[in-house]
Structure 1
């Protein structure tokens, strides 16, 4: 009788090399074949396929995992990530809603739900989700960053600045947060503080910042704020940091 391998969803560190990605997919295909009724195995395989860029195949695996166990929260979370990456934002929101019901203590799920709600223009709901993520994990920089896009107002920049400073307090090398922090200070009229903030943008992020600067100029021409233009692509969905084993019973 074969030994059933234990899965370690989202703790597997997939190599960026194509050979290692192929190896990972093959490994989890074998694991899923050995344990066809384990939703975690199919979720792992979906993660491997997504890493290799096979988003539609990954979505199929997550959906198969849910057909085995409709209460498997990690599959909903992973499905939401894949759907969001695929541009199916409304469907991603539905998956994340299912995920947070089953993973009420997971900051990543609430953060990603908040992210897609911003894209859907439902800022009040997004704020609730993001504040829940921050309550669960006050050190989650991406949740603070996403929150700044929700609380940003032309006539009161302090809440957005505070959210960005909270993001920077937990992730000092966050070039996007640093850039928007500088932009908010500039818009507020604090030129010296804005320059000092911009000087802290990591050099490794300068290509991104150049793109954001160009986007900011386009926003200015169209009377949009850089925050409103950027909020829809503020953060890619984050992955869970902890393994979550759930019973199929």
Structure 2
């Protein structure tokens, strides 16, 4: 196993200091290889060392301006600092350079979500779902975005898909409750809110919604 592969494995196992040492050695041995700078940049993002990470990704781009993962890493630097417009530019560059992976489309969608441009987010989240249909977080955010765009039936289907992937997803049950209320089905909504609270008794949104539905049913 070469140093780069070993360092990535260490990083995945949260042995970050050991990984950093090996990445540094790998870069010293191959200073013209952009992959070393990209991997070290990813590690620095994990450590919230954003200024250093930015320098490493920019160095990778200097060495290979077609390296899509370098632009993606740079996008993550800006995303983590809530500079969503700057992050978007980098994610778009990554996509233009051929990085057609679920994560980059998902992160692009999330930059729009944070800026409340839900219509612009939708196609990116859809592409992320197409590329990785087994990812719970991607499915859930896609479902939320569908609901925010008024596509209630599709949102309901997606939340049920989330529950197929993770049957203890309290937020999915809560959102199915909201969908049921939208359909004026208070009994089903109450059942969903109870499901959410059965998984997470601290779910404040479900607790509040349950109380309101119970009050409305009591008044009837």
Q: Which category describes the TM-score, using the shorter chain as reference length?
A: 0.7 to 0.9
Name structure 1 gaps, 5 residues minimum.
Answer: 218-249
The residue that corresponds to 2:12 in the other structure is 13
Residues 84 and 111, structure 2, Cα contact 8 Å, conserved in 1: yes
Higher mean Cα deviation, 86-95 or 98-107? 98-107
For residues 150-208 of structure 1, give each alpha carbon's deviation from its aligned partner in whole angstroms, at most 9, with x where no partner exists. Answer: 3225976333222222222223343433333333334543333334334444878555x
Higher mean Cα deviation, 77-86 or 146-155? 146-155
- The equivalent position to 2:64 in structure 1, one of 66, 69, 74, is 69
* Cα 1:28–1:117 shift into 2, 3 Å: same
Pairwise CA RMSD: 3.1
Residues 14 and 48, structure 1, Cα contact 8 Å, conserved in 2: no
Equivalent-residue separation in structure 2 for 1:154 and 1:111 (angstroms): 17
| Alpha-carbon distance, 1:42 to partner | 0.7
Name structure 2 gaps, 5 residues minimum.
Answer: 210-220
Do structure 1's residue 84 and structure 2's residue 79 form an aligned pair? yes
SS at match of 1:56: helix
Higher helix share: 2
Equivalent-residue separation in structure 2 for 1:9 and 1:72 (angstroms): 20
Alignment of 1:1-249 (within 5 A): 5-7=3-5, 12-15=11-14, 20-152=15-147, 157-201=152-196, 209-210=203-204
For residues 69-114 of structure 1, give each alpha carbon's deviation from its aligned partner in whole angstroms, at most 9, with x where no partner exists. Answer: 1111111122222211111100111111112223453111111111
Of the two, which has the highest radius of gyration? 2
Equivalent-residue separation in structure 2 for 1:41 and 1:79 (angstroms): 14
Q: What TM-score results when the alignment is normalised by the length of structure 2? A: 0.77
Q: What TM-score results when the alignment is normalised by the length of structure 1? A: 0.69
Residues 143 and 156, structure 2, Cα contact 8 Å, conserved in 1: yes
SS at match of 1:152: helix
* Cα 1:155–1:21 shift into 2, 3 Å: closer
Residues 129 and 142, structure 2, Cα contact 8 Å, conserved in 1: no
Residues 173 and 202, structure 1, Cα contact 8 Å, conserved in 2: no
The number of equivalent residue pairs is: 208
SS at match of 2:3: coil
